[in-house]
Amino acid sequence: MQKRNYNYFLLIFFAFLLVVSTIFTQTLTDKATQALQKGNIEAVETFKTSNEMQHLVNFSFTLQSRFSQLAAVPDNALDVLGDSLTLFGYNANVLNDAIAHKAPIANLKYLMDAVNTQLNISYAIIDARQHQNTRLMETLTDSLRKSKPGDDVYRYGVLVEKFLESQLQQTLVTNSTHASQLSSYNRILSVAAIIAVLIFTTVIVVRQWQQLVLIKELRLAREAAVKSRNAKDEFLANMSHELRTPLNSLIGFGNLLSDTPLNDTQKDYINTIISNGYNLLHIVNDVLDFSSIEAGKLRIKRIPFNLAELFEDLKRMFSAIITEKKLTYQWEIDPQVPQMLKGDPERLRQVLVNLVNNAIKFTAQGGIRLQVRLLPPDNEETHKLIFNVIDTGEGIPKEKINLIFERFEQLEHMTTRQHGGTGLGLSIVKSLVESMGGTVAVNSEPGQGSTFTFTGIFEKVAEIPAIADKQSDKPAADFSGYTALVVEDNAANRVLIKHLLKKYHLAIELAENGLEALERIQAKHYDLILMDIQMPHMNGYKAISIIREELHINTPAIAMTAYVMENEIKRCFAAGFNDYISKPIEEADIIGKILKWMPVPAEDRKEEAEGHPADSLDFFKELLGGDEAVMQELLTEIGKQWEEDQTALRTAAAAGDAAGVARILHRTRSTFSAFGPNHPIQELLKDCRITGTAENMIHTCEQLIRQIGEKWNFIIISG
């Protein structure tokens, strides 16, 4: 009985021991589980913090890149960049709070200092851009590039991430210590913890892999965007050429026909043809200008012009359609407005043409009135003008007023069919006005008419230049005794140019492509070459390159191009053309270009030299329309090319390569062709003959380089 009781008590003892052991083990298991859960939560938070740190670093690099190129960012994107900076600062503060509550570390403070530095510089750049402080903006942008706060954010971010990783590692070690003190249950829990860690590690690896995939996709998307942009530019250039070539014939023959005896009906017909030809040309120009605005390539000139003459030109331009629609047309310039202003007359004309054309389009009765008044200036060096274009037309519904300046927007779906247009005119007006430092607005009442108002900033003109007497739109010129070669693949354009120049007694010979032109130029001397760019067999660029580089012929050559994009115009000068004229060709323009480049008799040249110093840049300024920005850009390019020509000339002379020296000298003449055929540099190159031994050639080349260098230095100083 006692033995049985003993066994009973022993059983109870073992049961009790088992229960206690189970409770103890369960308690330890619970503690281990809680420790593991706590460690897992910390690991998740650490992972999230690490992930947010990575996003913050990437965000910092992106903002640094965008602000380093802020000059190319359109004004309407500044608000988006400001919001991005706000979000960047907010994320940094949240991340700082999340890490600081764990343990204060010095690298976190350095990280926030780098973030604040980047924010301060970026906000300062936006502020300078909004206040149009270009110099301050460039200084701040240069400071941003040099200091590279994004690199500091990355460096201290990596150190903070290492600290977080260290904390994560310490948590895992603690969990393993707890797990090693337990029985098999604890070992199971340890295995579970390891599995959990592996899962988190897998998640991290997967996320990193996804980021790499995303970066690759973004790179491919960027390459596709660049390819698409290049394709768009090429398409616009080709479209311009294909449309302007037939327009050249249409408008040109229309103008020639209008100079012949016609009855009233025939005059109406031909005026309609010419008017619609110019309408189509305006549509092409709108599309090209819109593309330039989108690409940020729109350039505003700063040249003197007469505002009253511009308004007179507008009146003549619209006189036919005003008469046809039986409307009135008036313009008024406040007497306080200066006669001469400095700005971009062509862009101002384009704005007014779009607004007046729009007013005429939607006005059936009444008329159009233009007003110009002077506003208080922002500074003493500029004039601020306000322009009003008032019509008595259909008016604009209130719900449409906020949309009319958007691209491709028109009042109704039927507007295009009723009135024509692309929907780009007012969008271009808004962009051009803003480029001139102004704003545009509209006030309209349906059925009563509309008033478009815009402002513009123009510089003051210190000296009023002499105004040429405009008695006739057609230039007076007589090219008797001169012969020009016209190279054009379009038969209609060949005939047009032949008949147009025949009126000025200029002998014309025709070639259909570059190959035929080369044959004619080698067989006969011409006083001038007029050459199309886009031709079969051999285009104009290749032909002029051979003429300059291989044949060493310096006959003045004018490119006739339907490509009017800025890069194509620069390409014309780089290829060796002396000048260019865009299609459709206007009679006054082409005669003016020919007068500029046609050789003049010796006695006339002497008189011209007495009136204009040989070293002056009058020819250069006239060629570029007085646009100082373009002049400086071209002078820089000429300087770079002259440095290359000097090096090549010395190398060829040292090698005794007379043919190479001659080729380089002809190339140098093309380099300085923008200064005019009678400039002293051109005279030096024209009269120079470098032959003999290598030693003599080196001596002569150095002497020539020194003489040209003196002239070039004078140009740089005086320019």
Quick check: is 609 in a domain? no
Per-residue confidence (pLDDT) for residue 373, from 0 to 100: 93
pLDDT at 390: 93
Asked whether residue 150 is assigned to any structural domain, the reply reads yes
Do both 697 and 564 map to the same domain?
A: no
Q: Is the pLDDT of residue 485 over 90?
A: yes
Residue-wise pLDDT tens digits, 135-144: 888 788 888 7
Q: What percent of the chain is modeled with pLDDT above 70?
A: 70
> Which residue matches tokens 């002379």?
653
Per-residue confidence (pLDDT) for residue 332, from 0 to 100: 92
Angle among Cα 243, 245, 249 to the nearest 5 degrees reads 115
CA distance 310 to 395: 27
Q: Is pLDDT of 2 > 60? A: no
Specify whether 533 is located in the same domain as 673: no
Query: Residue 466 has what pLDDT?
Result: 47
Number of domains in the chain: 4
How does DSSP assign 77-105, residue by residue? GHHHHHHHHHHHHHHHHHHHHHHHTT---
> What is the rounded average pLDDT for all residues in the chain?
75
Mean pLDDT of 194-210: 68
Region of residue 408 (left: phi > 0; alpha: psi -120 to 50; beta: else): left
Alpha helices in 295-397 (DSSP H): 307-324, 345-361
Above 60 in pLDDT, residue 276? yes
Question: Mean pLDDT over residues 476-489, rounded?
Answer: 85
DSSP letter string, 651-664: HHHHTT-HHHHHHH
Band of the pLDDT at 605, cuts 50, 70, 90? very low
Coil vs helix vs strand at 467: coil
Does residue 636 belong to any structural domain of this protein? yes
Q: Which of 27-31, 231-235, 471-475 bottoms out in mean pLDDT, i.e. has the lowest?
A: 471-475
Quote the pLDDT of residue 468.
44
SS3 content of the chain, % helix, strand, coil (to 5): 65, 10, 25
Instruction: List all residues 6 or more positions away from 143 whose beta carbon is below 8 Å from its beta carbon.
Output: 121
Give pLDDT, residue 160.
77
Same-domain check for residues 304 and 446: yes
* Together in a domain, 450 and 499: no
Q: Are strands 449-459 and 382-391 parallel, antiparallel or unpaired?
A: antiparallel
The pLDDT score that the predictor gives to residue 10 is 55
For position 72, which CATH number holds? 1.20.120
CATH code for the domain of 322: 3.30.565.10
Residue 661: which domain range? 628-718
- The pLDDT of residue 685: 75
| Same structural domain, 303 and 416 | yes
- Look at 310 and 236; give whichever has higher pLDDT: 310
Of 121, 146, 181, which residue constitutes the final position of a domain?
A: 181
Residue 326 has pLDDT above 50, yes or no: yes
Of 263-267, 442-446, 557-561, 575-579, where does mean pLDDT reach its minimum? 263-267
Using DSSP's 3-state secondary structure scheme, residue 405 falls into coil
More confident residue, 271 or 650: 650
Burial (CB count <10 Å: 0-12, 13-18, 19+), residue 106:
exposed
> Coil, strand, or helix at residue 376?
coil
Q: Pick the more confident residue, 230 or 311.
A: 311
Angle at CA of residue 49, ends 43 and 53, nearest 5°:
140
546 plus 453 within the same structural domain: no
Query: pTM here?
Result: 0.42
Q: Grade residue 422 by pLDDT with cuts at 50, 70 and 90.
A: very low
Q: Residue 333 falls within a domain, yes or no?
A: yes
Q: Are residues 308 and 428 in the same domain?
A: yes
